[in-house]
A = this chain, B = another copy of it.
Amino acid sequence: MHHGEGPTEKCGVVGVALADREAARPLYYSLYALQHRGQDSAGIVTHDGFQQHGHVEMGLVGDAFGPEDLEDLKGSAGIGHVRYPTEGGVNASCAQPFSVSFKSGALGLAHNGNLVNTGELRDELESLGHAFTSDGDTEVIAHDLARNLLDSDLIRAVKRTMGRIHGSYALTVMHDDAVLGVRDPRGNRPLCLGELEDGYVLASESAAIDTLDGELIRDVRPGELVVLESDGSGYDSYRLFEEETSAHCFFEHVYFARPDSVIDDRLVYEARRNLGRALWDESGIDTDVVMPVPDSGRAFASGYADAAGEVDADVEFAEGLMKNRYVGRTFIMPTQDERERAVRLKLNPIRSTVEGRTVTLIDDSIVRGTTSTQLVDLLRDAGAEEVHLRIGAPPIVAPCYMGIDMATREELVAADRSTEEVRAAVGADSLSYLSIDAVADAIGQSRADLCLGCVTGAYPFDVDGEETDREIDRPVTSGGEPADD
């Protein structure tokens, strides 16, 4: 799947508490490391023991902060956030961290995820006189937490708020100079804990910890609250909720997370290679050449080719589509009749690799199907005899309500099409997805502990207008002769 048409993760969060050092730069660098999780705004809130400092701006991390901005963010503790546009449009007031001051101090919140009962909570708080400046979940969480803090200590207040908010969330929170990390009781969105030489760090992905030269300690557990000591000397853990099953998002492994992040003790890059191996095992096909969709399919293709190579050393793995790294935001779109050709601006097929040959094209997922269609076209134009598509995830048949801006059901090519119909739609000679069980296996989780909403239509939380027990199961392969193993 090509970025741009793919699902868009809605956020990355981070929090640090250090012994003696200013927190602003480590926060800045860790947001840089999480930039792939949100490119629309970036923000940091710190606390210097006396007061809160904040800077939130639209744009990429590198554009949102200047050197003076970092200087102004005093204090050795802080949280940060990168975000994607929400449905309500992007504007400065939705950017995070969200900060408020209230009776017993200052709160800052950075949220990744999506609540399913925001409306209800909001009504309740409004009845008590609360007024809201945005439509966001984060403000509702902040108000609820502030209210609970009126007559509870911090741990108890967080527990009460967690008992009231339903949905997916990984939060970093500042209460005055205390930095907290919270993960929802089903552990839907990732959050991990790391140790630095002189402090501790919480982050959506472990790659952010690496950037700070820290060591990953472990994932924050579902339902756990981690409180960092303000002086960077340690952390406390409170398992506030424990549920029987988790609802980890498997799409983090397939698509969102950086390949160099470790989630649930598993390196994402390795997980993707495993998914590629499983793909060969389930639906491998003999073709002249195996090629990845760059960059999303590369790890999958490498695993697929390895597995293929074990049975047939002759399979050729080659880069046959070359990406132009400079195609950016300010690009002038081609006119309608140039459009088809101009896909080549982004991805150029290498004729000599493709011409007169049968090709297996490997990608991580299909959302709308637009890119797949274009790529199959490109390869045929470049002379491919056959184009077989192998996808390292199951068909995406339903929207995500857990914090990923995937697409509406209408836009999802597989929502109301069989695999054969999708194959026909994208124009491939054969198409195979990976089965759900293979996914669970490859990422080392039990199927019961995964959120499979987008591939089954059955969600771990009650979602208005969605049945919770509908489960879509369908053949994931169409066309193509299985390779001999």
* A contacts, CB < 8 Å to B: 25, 28-29, 32-33, 35-36, 39, 60-63, 65-67, 70, 92, 98-104, 107, 123, 126-133, 142-143, 146-147, 150, 207, 210-213, 258-260, 262, 267, 269-270, 298-299, 302, 309, 313, 317-319, 322, 324-332, 334-335, 338, 341-342, 344-345, 348-350, 352-353
Residues of B within 8 A of A327 (CB): 32, 62
Q: How far is the CA of A99 from the CA of B92 in the complex (A)?
A: 13
Q: How far is the CA of A66 from the CA of B331 in the complex (A)?
A: 9
A330 CB, min distance to chain B CBs, angstroms: 4
Main secondary structure of the interface of A (DSSP, over half): mixed
Query: Quick one: copies of this chain in the complex?
Result: 4
Residues of B within 8 A of A213 (CB): 341, 344
- CB atoms of B29 and A101 under 8 A apart: no
Residues of B within 8 A of A332 (CB): 25, 28, 62, 65-67, 70
> Which residue of B128, B133, B211, B350 is within 8 Å of A267 (Cβ)?
B350
Residues of B within 8 A of A131 (CB): 100-102, 107, 130, 142-143, 146
Complex A-B: 28 CB contacts under 8 Å: A25-B338, A29-B334, A32-B345, A33-B324, A36-B326, A61-B326, A62-B327, A70-B332, A100-B132, A102-B130, A103-B123, A103-B126, A107-B131, A127-B150, A129-B129, A131-B142, A211-B345, A213-B341, A259-B322, A262-B352, A267-B352, A269-B319, A298-B319, A299-B319, A302-B318, A309-B309, A313-B313, A325-B325
A318 CB, min distance to chain B CBs, angstroms: 8
Given the known inter-chain contacts A322-B269, A338-B25, please indicate yes or no for A130 contacting B132, CB distance below 8 A: no
A189 CB, min distance to chain B CBs, angstroms: 21
- CB atoms of B132 and A129 under 8 A apart: no
Other A-B contacts than A129-B129, A267-B353, A269-B322, 11 sampled, CB-CB below 8 A, are A25-B334, A62-B326, A63-B330, A101-B131, A127-B150, A128-B128, A130-B146, A131-B143, A210-B349, A262-B352, A309-B313
